[in-house]
Amino acid sequence: MTLASGLLQWHWWQPLLYTLILTHFTIVSVTVYLHRHSAHRALDLHPAVAHLFRFWLWLTTSIKTKEWTAIHRRHHAKCETVADPHSPQVLGLRKVLLEGSELYKEAADADTLKRFGNGTPDDWLERNLYSHRFGNFSGIALMALINIALFGPIGITIWAIQMLWIPFWAAGIINGLAHYWGYRNFESPDAARNISPLGIIIGGEELHNNHHTYPNSAKLSSRWYEFDLGWAYIQLFKALGLASNIRRGPVVYRQADKCLIDADTALAAANDRFRIMAQFKRQVLSVHLRQDHRIRASAGRHYRRLNQWLTQGQEQWDEARQEWMQEFFSKHPELHTLYHLKEELDQLWTLRTRSKDELVEAFKAWCDKAENAGMQTLADFSAMLKQYSLQPVPVRS
Ligand SMILES: [Zn+2]
Ligand SMILES: [Zn+2]
């Protein structure tokens, strides 16, 4: 069925496709330009591309680069505290889900813009149009006129969806749900979670735990089964010469023939501490839980939660769990040793702000303990840690 309204003759699916394409460009503008480029400086964009994104955000959202950047940087700097502009852990999930955009407006005060808004555009167009009090809204008004001209009255519905797209997906789902629900690859110091391993709908922003662990990385996926659509766009821009200086988390290496611990080893490992802790959980703790069948039998209905409890620090256990775990550890001393070593490894990274020598000595002591514990997985893990280096190839003297 062909419908004629507005300038076009169209089939029913065409306005639908039009809406999806336009909102998709808006999502890409938010994740690649606002988030990764402007707020975190994780990549440089060709000025023409950066400006195209600014123009698109003006036309479809009325978001101002400086405001969004400053509020987002404050979110990272003050995460899950009262100064965090949109923490569901502090404000409650319902408020962040339903009033995400209002929270942005409230947070855009002069102090936040001054402290966190450095390095954002301040040219003639920004001052007189994109961030101007009236000019800012002329973009979305123009968008409404374009939609109505193309599709007639249904253009208003398309416009309403466009206006709700970012408040719903970014301000509500990401700022709310991604600090509340989902899985965690890394024990980042905040409550950030990955909502889905496939970051498609919100352009990779779904991988929020990875992002909070390595906020300056332009790539948000981390495990082999995770996909970050924003990263695919960045690769495309790079291939076209439109993106450069692309950063990817801590740059550390592993040298196969390295087996001594020096400052280079300790500093490289400290830089990669979140990944190391995640590996310890997967390659040592989880493997032990799977392989020691007595554990499954004696844990009973608690077996499925054990992995999670062992990832936590003791202070996160309530009294009943403390008691249960102590009794459980007394029956499984090997598991107790592993848990203890996990806690000590975690403690080690707090020394990275002290002297290098202290860090190296503590690192050596941990590896000695792991190797003398009589478990192959621990010995292998210790050998892996010793391979860490900040140098890409062995330094020959
Ligand atoms: Zn966040
Ligand atoms: Zn961020």
Q: pLDDT tens digits, residue range 217-261?
A: 999 999 999 999 999 999 999 999 999 999 998 888 899 888 889
Both 279 and 240 in a single domain?
no
Report which bound ligand comes closest to the CA of 174.
1
Report which bound ligand comes closest to the CA of 190.
1
Both 21 and 127 in a single domain?
yes
Report which bound ligand comes closest to the CA of 88.
1
Q: What distances in angstroms separate CA 138 from CA 114, 143, 339, one per listed residue? A: 25, 9, 59
- Predicted pLDDT at 2: 57
- Helical packing angle, 135-151 and 154-166, nearest 10°: 140
Both 215 and 121 in a single domain?
yes
Both 272 and 323 in a single domain?
yes
State the average pLDDT for the chain: 90
Q: Which of 301, 381, 289 is nearest to 341 (CA)?
A: 381
User: What is the Å distance from ligand 2's center to 40 Cα?
Assistant: 7
Other CB atoms within a 10 A radius of the CB of residue 98 amount to 14
pTM (2 decimals)?
0.85
Report which bound ligand comes closest to the CA of 230.
2
Report which bound ligand comes closest to the CA of 173.
1
Q: Which of 185, 216, 244 is the last residue of a domain?
A: 244
Q: Is residue 92 part of a domain?
A: yes
User: What is the Å distance from ligand 2's center to 381 Cα?
Assistant: 31
Range of the domain at 375: 254-389
Report which bound ligand comes closest to the CA of 177.
1
Q: Is residue 99 part of a domain?
A: yes
Both 297 and 219 in a single domain?
no
Report which bound ligand comes closest to the CA of 87.
1
Rounded Cα distance, 184 and 71, in Å:
24
- Predicted pLDDT at 396: 57
Both 258 and 364 in a single domain?
yes
Other CB atoms within a 10 A radius of the CB of residue 45 amount to 21
Both 73 and 213 in a single domain?
yes
- Tokens representing residue 194 in the block: 């990955």
Helix (H) / strand (E) element for 45: namely strand 44-45
Q: Is residue 394 part of a domain?
A: no
Both 359 and 319 in a single domain?
yes
User: What is the Å distance from ligand 1's center to 235 Cα?
Assistant: 24
Q: Is residue 30 part of a domain?
A: yes
Both 40 and 65 in a single domain?
yes
User: What is the Å distance from ligand 1's center to 84 Cα?
Assistant: 10
Task: Count up the domains in the chain and report the number.
Answer: 2
Q: Is residue 330 part of a domain?
A: yes
- Predicted pLDDT at 4: 58
- Answer yes or no: are the C-beta atoms of 366 and 341 closer than 8 Å: yes
At 256-292, the pLDDT tens digits run: 888 889 999 999 999 999 999 999 999 999 999 888 8
Per the model's pLDDT, the better-predicted residue between 272 and 350 turns out to be 272
User: What is the Å distance from ligand 1's center to 339 Cα?
Assistant: 29
Q: Which of 193, 219, 244 is the last residue of a domain?
A: 244
Report which bound ligand comes closest to the CA of 194.
1
Share of the chain above pLDDT 70, in %: 97
- Predicted pLDDT at 3: 58
Ordered DSSP codes for 159-221: HHHHHHHHIIIIIIIIIIITTTSSB-SS--SS---BS-SEE-TTTTTTBHHHHHHSTT-S---
User: What is the Å distance from ligand 2's center to 8 Cα?
Assistant: 40
User: What is the Å distance from ligand 2's center to 38 Cα?
Assistant: 10
Both 140 and 50 in a single domain?
yes
User: What is the Å distance from ligand 2's center to 75 Cα?
Assistant: 8
Both 99 and 239 in a single domain?
yes
Q: Is residue 125 part of a domain?
A: yes
Q: Is residue 395 part of a domain?
A: no
Q: Is residue 100 part of a domain?
A: yes
User: What is the Å distance from ligand 1's center to 241 Cα?
Assistant: 30
pLDDT band at 8 (very low <50, low <70, confident <90, very high): confident
Both 208 and 270 in a single domain?
no
Report which bound ligand comes closest to the CA of 69.
2
Q: Which of 211, 244, 277 is the last residue of a domain?
A: 244
User: What is the Å distance from ligand 1's center to 181 Cα?
Assistant: 12
- Answer yes or no: are the C-beta atoms of 395 and 263 closer than 8 Å: no
